[in-house]
Amino acid sequence: MFSPDTIIKEYRVTEKATELISNQNKYTFEVYPSSNRRQVAAAVERLFGVKVAQVNIMNKSGKTRRSRTVRGQTGTTAAMKKAIVTLEKGESIELA
C-alpha cells in the first residue's frame, strides 16, 4: 500500500480546474500512475480531512513532438494520470 503523499503528486491549477472548484466542488490532482479510485479517495480524505463523494480518473498519453535541433528526430512528452475528486456538500480543501 502506498502512502497518501506518494499517491497524490500535485494539485493541477488551470482555468478549468478553478471553475470546477467554484461551480461543482471538484478538485483536480495529478496522481501516481498505478493508483486506483479507492486509493486516491483514501489519500485525499487522509491528507485533507474531508469526505470524498466520487473520483474520476483519466490517463493522458504523451504527445509526439519534433526536435528543434536535430532534423527528423522525434520524442514524446511525459504521460500522466489525472484524478478529479468530488467532495461531499459543505466540504472544501484549503489550497495555499
CATH of the domain at 70: 3.30.70.330
Residue 95 inside a domain? The answer is no
Q: Is residue 93 part of a domain?
A: no
pLDDT along the chain (96 residues), means of 10: 86 94 95 95 95 97 91 92 96 85
**Assigned domain for 60 exists:** yes
Angstrom distance (rounded) from CA 15 to CA 49 = 25
Instruction: Decide if 48 is inside a domain.
Output: yes
- Residue-level pLDDT at 95: 78
> What pLDDT does residue 5 have?
84
User: Domain limits at 81?
Assistant: 4-87
Report how far residue 80's alpha carbon sits from residue 62's, in angstroms, rounded to the nearest whole number.
Answer: 8
92 part of a folded domain:
no
* Total of domains in the chain: 1
pTM: 0.85
